[in-house]
A and B are shown apart, each in its own frame.
Chain A
Amino acid sequence: DTGVSQDPRHKITKRGQNVTFRCDPISEHNRLYWYRQTLGQGPEFLTYFQNEAQLEKSRLLSDRFSAERPKGSFSTLEIQRTEQGDSAMYLCASPGASTDTQYFGPGTRLTVL
């Protein structure tokens, strides 16, 4: 257990529905990352927060995707109007303050039918 939690662990939804995932990072870590991973691939960077500020977004993150970290603690990732191509594992990670070692959560597996 890395200390990073994600909820839900699994989500099955129908195409066109909206979904929201939550990540609770290690409490003293002020940086938080979201990644997407599909089978046989490495994690793909989606977005990065320093405290509550979203500092970078990948071009992969279409306008259907939005992420927030309102109080600099937990973060949410919302996907609107889901498509089958959104099916993936969504990973949250929080690095330590003095290191770039990424501590990953268990991920949320999204299946869009």
Chain B
Amino acid sequence: SQKIEQNSEALNIQEGKTATLTCNYTNYSPAYLQWYRQDPGRGPVFLLLIRENEKEKRKERLKVTFDTTLKQSLFHITASQPADSATYLCALAPNAGNNRKLIWGLGTSLAVNP
């Protein structure tokens, strides 16, 4: 069956450290993968998109990698801050068929402690 999985346990890290979140998928050949941030009671906010032919993308303190052999994307937040505390969702666009419908992971909760 097709699945997309994120770390199910909450991640607690100390301020200033690098947070690394994982997104694994099976039985897809995604055209691209996206990462979103979601705060409690609010809609997800787009952060980064990485395409199947890209290995790495950066935006300020954020870095995303995409390994289509391992079927995995890693999301890094460097020099983390308490304001980075949120749930982070990955979503992929399946290559086959309708690319318009994203498949979502359950999200990983990140807490950055001061």
Name A's B-contacting residues (CB within 8 A).
2, 4, 31, 40-45, 48, 56, 89, 91, 93, 95, 99-107, 109
Name B's A-contacting residues (CB within 8 A).
32, 34, 36, 41-46, 49, 89, 91, 93, 98-102, 104-107
Q: Which residue of A lies closest to B6 (CB)?
A: A42
Give the A-B contact count at a CB cut-off of 8 A.
57
Having A42-B104, A44-B104, A100-B102, one finds 8 other A-B pairs with CB under 8 Å, namely: A41-B106, A42-B91, A45-B102, A56-B98, A89-B41, A100-B49, A100-B93, A102-B46
A45 and B101 contact, CB distance less than 8 A: yes
Contact of B100 among A2, A31, A44 (CB under 8 A): A31
Contact of A104 among B44, B49, B93, B99 (CB under 8 A): B44
Given A48-B100, A48-B101, A100-B102, residue A43 in contact with residue B32 (CB < 8 A): no
State the Cβ distance, A2 to closest chain B Cβ, in Å.
7
A104 and B106 contact, CB distance less than 8 A: no
